[in-house]
Amino acid sequence: MDFRFSPEDEAFRQEVREFLQREWPQDEIGGAESPLGYGGGRGLEDIKALQKKLAQKGWLTMAWPKEYGGQGASIWRQVIYNEEMAYHRAPQQLGVGPDRVGPTIMIYGTEDQKAQFLPPIAKAEVIWCQGFSEPGAGSDLASLQTTAVLEGDYFVINGQKIWTSLAHVADWMILLARTDPDAPKHKGISYFLVDMKTTGITVRPLYDITGRHAFNQVFFDNVRVPKSHLVGELNRGWYVAAATLDFERSGINRVMAGIRSYEELVEYSKETRVGSRPLISLPNVRHKLAELKIEFEVGRMLAYRVASIQAAGRIPNQEASVSKLFGSELQQRLAAAGISILGLGGALRPGSKWAPLAGRIADYYLAAVATTIAAGTSEIMRNIIAIRGLGLPRG
């Protein structure tokens, strides 16, 4: 089987690289890019400016149909873009609009919703966040307790969401709420589009282990949402959310970001000497790097498998969970190997002049803790693979 991309696709890859060399030069980036980061050392306004340029080139939503502001490009062209953006530690998007909200609305949204919400995403005019998890509903998401009660032309929402990335800068939120408290827990949930400027919404920051502010708690106190902002059928929002989660878990980003850090670790091992010998000549270092090289190739192929399903016009399910599980755990294996290879200096974070690789591995190690939790825990991914992929009975 020939896994090579076409000459046209490779030319596009080179175009993306040249764009990033001009617009996102690596030598100007301070600190490190973490698996949960949004642009490394760059500020929000720099990231927004880059998003506008990406939108102007049509890259932000290139695989979307042209009638919704996309280019109608192939899934594989989108994969190339995602690979290069992740490899160069550039934010391919800000928030969850292009890869989750847009595709979900295309499948389940009304024509009015498509007309209202898709063009601003394609133009990088809005930032979306995802209001799914709650303090008592993460892995068991269907246990969520936020409620939405229909009153006339509005749903009145009360409750709390947590771990909401970028809620403090987002314009809109996709939100799950319970609309039928008497129905089985998967059946009484609905999916809403919520304007973050609506009266009754309070956002409070949560700082992660690296000290970054990406997460938030969001509180809803009698928040009124027009019933026209219900996506899909009432009480069947769980199935809409499942599509959103599959889009979230299917990316190649986590693999390519890791490959960049892996290559830097290899170069460091070649250039650093232990006595008269290069570090990479030590058997334990050489063998660990060889294992990681193989694993990254596997991770890339698993992500390509998901892309091939999307290219065939189908929504990936257990295949996305396989890719997510392997990719997120691979990030942790890379982080642990990096700390081991760098020795005591590997614990030094960005800002220390003695930190090897500018402290990126230390930050990567801290941030990688969350990779097997965010977007679905490893345990949940294994359950999905077992039940939906292997046909095993529920435990």
Mode of pairing for the β-strands spanning 147-151 and 154-161: antiparallel
The burial class, CB within 10 Å (0-12 / 13-18 / 19+), for 382 is middle
The tens digit of pLDDT for each residue in 235-247 reads 999 999 988 887 7
Architecture of the 250-389 domain: Up-down Bundle (1.20)
Q: Identify the pLDDT of residue 92.
A: 86
Structure tokens of 355? 């930190």
User: How many Cα atoms sit within 13 Å of 20 on the Cβ side?
Assistant: 23
CA distance 191 to 160: 15
CA distance 39 to 47: 7
The string of DSSP codes covering 307-355 is HHHHHTT---SHHHHHHHHHHHHHHHHHHHHHHHHHGGGGGPPTT-TT-
The percentage of residues in the chain with a pLDDT greater than 90, rounded to a whole number, is 74
Q: How far is CA 311 from CA 3, 178, 306, in A?
A: 15, 34, 9
Please list the active-site residues: 248
CATH topology of domain 7-94: Butyryl-Coa Dehydrogenase, subunit A; domain 1 (1.10.540)
The string of DSSP codes covering 341-395 is HHGGGGGPPTT-TT-GGGGHHHHHHHHHGGGGTTTS-HHHHHHHIIIIIS-PPP-
Q: Identify the pLDDT of residue 251.
A: 67
CA distance 341 to 57: 41
Q: Identify the CA nearest to 61 among candidates 129, 123, 125, 128.
A: 123
Residue labelled with tokens 């934010």? 91
Residue 29: pLDDT band (50, 70, 90) is very low
The burial class, CB within 10 Å (0-12 / 13-18 / 19+), for 227 is middle
- Among the residue ranges 111-125, 137-151, 245-259, the one predicted with the least confidence is 245-259
On whether the CB atoms of residues 35 and 364 are closer than 8 A, the answer is: yes
Q: Identify the pLDDT of residue 31.
A: 41
Q: Per-domain residue ranges for the chain?
A: 7-94, 128-235, 250-389
Number of DSSP helices (H) and strands (E) in the chain, helices first: 11, 10
Residue 41: pLDDT band (50, 70, 90) is low
The tens digit of pLDDT for each residue in 252-311 reads 777 888 999 999 999 999 999 998 999 999 999 999 999 999 999 999 999 999 889 888
The tens digit of pLDDT for each residue in 357-368 reads 999 999 999 989
CATH topology of domain 128-235: Butyryl-CoA Dehydrogenase, subunit A; domain 2 (2.40.110)
**Above 50 in pLDDT, residue 331?**
yes
CA distance 306 to 329: 18
